[in-house]
Structure 1
Amino acid sequence: MLAKKSANTKSSPVRELLKFSKMPEFISLAGGIPATDMIDMDGIDGIVSELLQSDHRQMFQYSVTEGELEFREEIAKLNALFHLKTPADQILITNGSQQAIDLLNRVFLEKDDIVLVERPTYLAALQLFSYTEAIVEEVAYNEQSIDLEVLESVFAQGKVKMFYVIPNFANPTGHTLDYSTRSAIVNLAHKYDVVIVEDDPYGHLRFEGEAVPSLFSIAQSLYGETHNVCYMSSFSKIFAPGLRLGWLAAPLKYLSAIIVAKQALDLHTSTFNQHIAASYLASGKLVERLKVLQTTYRQRRDLLIAALEKHLGGMITFNKPTGGMFLWCRLNVEVKASELLKACIDEKVIFVPGEVFFSKNPDHYTLRLSYSMLSENSADEGVSRIAKALNKLL
């Protein structure tokens, strides 16, 4: 007999749609996955070849839970280039940033604890909170930013344990929080003793505008080691998702408990995969690659926007993110996104209905479109198929 929390946690609709994305006749605007054609296979193959020709026996042995020191040091160097101070001894290597969310979920939340999230937010985080049987509350946006008055009123009730936030090119909305909003969030969380979980898998994919300091950096500058921000990022979106490599930086007061949780869960992340990434970082290839990714994703965003304007005109509104992988859209006609998806599957095109990103009272007319995998032809053809399906329903 299944535990109640297992019975009540549903499979991710995004993962369910992956079966269609594997079919060559389908055009996918669904998955939040990096462009397969942009993975640096020449660079990775070269690194792997060098490692296998070296004395690499220890790379197939158990590792320490925190992660290989060489890898953590390379991450610290990378972060320093982007004005993020994360000493190697404050970094924990995880199996993707998804595991980092899981670890913090296990360490900080118990049944009926309140975790606050953006409305809407990352679906897989909602799944994890469901497993803990935490109570998920949402904080709405005031146009393009979090409503700080509402946020403080919720914090002031003294019941919120954790605030999960994606500050850069959020999944699913593409929103980015400005500096003043980030500073206010840090101050409010410190005032009311709320743990901030800062999830930043897309921060390096900025292709317009100036980077904004992380909540982690702001908290460090304001409160030193007494701050309460846990920061996580991933190599899945900028390097190779199949290696399942993410990392977490946390104040020392939290870190030992998080490491123990990781020990109990899986002992450590793949030793060999860590060495692949560490060598790639040490070679300088990743920093060079980021420029290519940024240029490519900007082009693909613009291709998708042009196709939407061409084929759907006034029937849909959408944002214009300055980085990341997603457009957040809303239908201006009386057709729910889930109904449109069913019709689109018949037309061999898929996207994610926005309703799955809400913990309660979903907006049924929203949808998330991913441009990361698109080409000029597939962007135009994909949106053309969506328009065909929508017109049939109308």
Structure 2
Amino acid sequence: MYKYLEISQSIEQKIKLNKFEPGKRLPSIRSISKMFGCSMSTAIKAYEDLVDRHIVYAVPQSGYFVVEATMVAPERDLAQIDFSTGVPLIDEMPSDDFKHCLNSAVDIYSRVALHTDIEGIASLRRLLEKYLREYQIFSSYQNIFINLGIQQVLTILSQMPFPNNKECILIEEPTYALYIMFLKQAGIKTLTIKRDENGLDLKALEHLFKTGNIKFFYTVPRHHNPLGTCYSKKTREKIAMLAEKYDVYIVEDDYLAEMDFNVKYDPIYAYGDHYHHIYLKSFSKIIPWIRIGLCVMPSHLIDLFRTYKRNHYYYSYVASSIVAQATLEIYIRNGMINSHINLLKKQYSSKIKCLKSEIAKLSDLPDGCKWSYGSGYYAYIWLPEHLDESRLIDNLEKQNIVVSSGIHFYFSPTSYEKGIRICITRTNNEQIARGIALIMSEIEQSV
């Protein structure tokens, strides 16, 4: 073993035994050299090894210090089947490549301010222009804005005037819970259109576009949360056509595009006139270490969106850090993101097949009970109206099964169709099979 490794391991052991306390200054280079009978360069190399492994840190002109004890993540209940959230378990995702990119980004931008231009780093936007082509989004980098996730963009768009001079926002029901919460709290005029396992009523959509004073229609065409469904090609084409016909903008949330196994699926944006279409994309579900999203704005809205985003920026001090953006750029540029996505798809394909298989087995459902599922992470179970939903959820929790109430995904309590959402992000195949069986058993006992 190299001498510097012997020294670094000896110091590490003393730190673990609390002989060197966290936050306290370690012996000087000269002291280490005398203590271990080595050259000063060897002592420096030993400390550099400890720095690289985040055990100690260096302070210029002061020396080396023990890193303070880090927070310990709460232990997961391994007996619990968690169907309640779409937030992935970070510790189950491959992270070595990402850590390398993060370290490189920190080195490159260590002397640059944490925040950057309203639009985002230009080199990343140019790269994303090419990246988006894989998903049939053809646009100039000048139309791309980097944001702190999708919610930030939705907040800005909801408060921003549009050239059609209309006021109401149309949303699917059910839909994204956090956006519903924002619309209610902000008191924004909102209309809804019913979406079910078969999609939506295109005639009803046209009527709303024609008469509802709709500024924009917010839609999640594929991997819908909470239904887990995807719009057919016919529906996507029709929505694009109606947007142009009635001067209604489409805000398309394509948050999980990378995880689609249907390579022929094109977003609504691909069928539209690129005048009435705003495309949203998030990286949070596939790269949960950073919160970055993007939007593709039509050219005539760029200046207006930039102005409102700048106002939002100054008001909330919220923007994607330059280090996070640089990390994503390195991750994409080196092709590491493609390997990461392929690995994730391999992991999730087994879960998705398992969920489909378990749902397919449920041929004799109680009256008033039905499943919605198409692809992706989510599925929804509609429940009989007379069933006590809260008691069902409580009983499932007693069996270590956690699900989400469907009420969160409906804008209006009067239009709420009783149900529960499940998500397979934090489960394995055995848990999916056992969990679905237990959920259906509890429903049957509750009917």
The alignment's TM-score, normalised by the length of structure 1, stands at 0.83
Please, which of 95, 101, 110 is the counterpart of residue 47 of structure 1? 101
**Cross-structure match for 1:380:** 433
**Cross-structure match for 2:87:** 33
Letter in 2 for 1:288: S
SS in 2 for 1:243: coil
**Cross-structure match for 1:134:** 188
CA contact (8 A) 2:221 2:253 kept: yes
CA contact (8 A) 2:196 2:227 kept: no
**Cross-structure match for 1:341:** 393
**Cross-structure match for 2:280:** 232
**Cross-structure match for 1:56:** 109
**Cross-structure match for 1:74:** 127
Matches of 2:88 and 2:364, distance apart in 1: 28
Q: What is the deviation of 1:50? A: 2.9
Pairs within 5 Å for 1:143-162: 144-162=198-216
Name the CA shift for 1:311/1:177 in 2 (closer, same or farther; >3 Å).
closer
Q: What is the deviation of 1:274? A: 0.6
Matches of 2:250 and 2:379, distance apart in 1: 25
Letter in 2 for 1:342: D
CA contact (8 A) 2:168 2:213 kept: yes
**Cross-structure match for 2:383:** 331
SS in 2 for 1:138: strand
Q: What is the deviation of 1:389? A: 4.2
CA contact (8 A) 1:356 1:362 kept: no
Greater share of helix residues, 1 or 2? 1
Q: What is the deviation of 1:377? A: 2.8
CA contact (8 A) 1:347 1:389 kept: no
Q: Deviations over 1:277-301 (max 9, x none)?
A: 1100111111222222223222112
Q: Deviations over 1:105-130 (max 9, x none)?
A: 12148xx9321111211111111222
SS in 2 for 1:237: coil
Matches of 2:445 and 2:102, distance apart in 1: 51
Matches of 2:92 and 2:364, distance apart in 1: 30
CA contact (8 A) 2:104 2:327 kept: no
**What root-mean-square deviation, in Å, do the aligned CA atoms of Structure 1 and Structure 2 show?**
2.8
Please, which of 335, 338, 351 is the counterpart of residue 300 of structure 1? 351
Pairs within 5 Å for 1:242-257: 242-257=289-304
Matches of 2:396 and 2:225, distance apart in 1: 22
**Cross-structure match for 1:369:** 422
Matches of 2:364 and 2:385, distance apart in 1: 12
Please, which of 79, 90, 93 is the counterpart of residue 143 of structure 2? 90
Q: What is the deviation of 1:170? A: 1.0
CA contact (8 A) 2:180 2:411 kept: yes
Pairs within 5 Å for 1:166-245: 166-207=220-261, 209-219=262-272, 223=273, 227-240=275-288, 242-245=289-292
**Cross-structure match for 1:356:** 408
Q: What is the deviation of 1:151? A: 0.9
Letter in 1 for 2:248: V
Please state if 1:259 is matched with 2:313.
no
Q: Which moved more, 1:129-138 or 1:90-99?
A: 129-138
SS in 2 for 1:163: strand
Matches of 2:384 and 2:101, distance apart in 1: 50
CA contact (8 A) 1:351 1:369 kept: yes
Matches of 2:358 and 2:196, distance apart in 1: 28
**Cross-structure match for 1:15:** none
Q: What is the deviation of 1:142? A: 7.0
SS in 1 for 2:160: helix
Matches of 1:273 and 1:27, distance apart in 2: 32
Letter in 2 for 1:68: I
Aligned length: 365
Q: What is the deviation of 1:328? A: 1.9
Counting aligned pairs with the same residue, the percent is 21
The alignment's TM-score, normalised by the length of structure 2, stands at 0.74
CA contact (8 A) 1:300 1:375 kept: yes
Matches of 1:364 and 1:118, distance apart in 2: 13
Matches of 1:236 and 1:21, distance apart in 2: 23
CA contact (8 A) 1:65 1:269 kept: no
Matches of 2:417 and 2:391, distance apart in 1: 9
Q: Deviations over 1:230-259 (max 9, x none)?
A: 11110011222x411001111121122222
Q: What is the deviation of 1:354? A: 1.8
Letter in 1 for 2:102: V
Long gaps (5+) in structure 2: 1-73
Letter in 2 for 1:266: Y
SS in 1 for 2:127: helix
**Cross-structure match for 2:333:** 282
Name the CA shift for 1:158/1:51 in 2 (closer, same or farther; >3 Å).
closer
Long gaps (5+) in structure 1: 1-19
SS in 2 for 1:259: helix
**Cross-structure match for 1:118:** 172
SS in 2 for 1:162: strand
**Cross-structure match for 1:314:** 365
Matches of 1:143 and 1:56, distance apart in 2: 47
SS in 2 for 1:304: helix
Letter in 2 for 1:328: Y
Matches of 2:152 and 2:253, distance apart in 1: 11
Q: What is the deviation of 1:87? A: 1.7
Letter in 2 for 1:299: S
Letter in 2 for 1:237: K
Q: Deviations over 1:297-318 (max 9, x none)?
A: 2211232344556799634532
CA contact (8 A) 1:36 1:373 kept: no
Q: For the pair shown, which has the larger CA radius of gyration, 1 or 2?
A: 2
Q: Which protein has greater RCO, CA pairs closer than 8 Å, 6+ apart?
A: 1
